[in-house]
Amino acid sequence: MKLLRLFLAQLLTAAMVLAGLLITFHYDWPDYVHTDYGVPLVWAIHTESAITGPVDIWSVNPTNLVANIAIWTILSLVLVTLICILIRKRT
């Protein structure tokens, strides 16, 4: 039973980190079309079009990437801890 809980905690952590990293926001402005990756910090920007015409530029910020992973890992571990506390109080 403990092994199953540990597996579910790891699965929840991985799912939350991946969701936080892969959420995108697409902006289709007339002179600047780009996609931002990451929540709460934007760690990558893919620029598709600028005022000069079509472009294909990736801008990656590794510091924000590491910070996003840390934030989502901490949040998921807090969530798993709260779930475990609530389960123990019920039984």
Q: Provide the whole-model pTM.
A: 0.83
Position 81 in a domain: yes
- Counting the structural domains of the chain, the total is 1
Position 60 in a domain: yes
In the predicted model, is pLDDT for residue 5 greater than 80? no
Going by the DSSP 8-state scheme, the letter that residue 38 receives in this structure is -
Residue 64 CB-density burial (10 A; 0-12 exposed, 13-18 middle, 19+ buried): middle
Position 17 in a domain: no
In the predicted model, is pLDDT for residue 1 greater than 70? no
Q: What is the pLDDT of residues 7-59, one digit of tens each?
A: 888 888 899 999 999 999 999 998 899 999 999 999 999 999 998 889 999 99
Domain that holds residue 79: 24-90
Q: What is the pLDDT of residues 48-88, one digit of tens each?
A: 999 888 999 999 999 999 999 999 999 988 988 888 888 88
Position 33 in a domain: yes
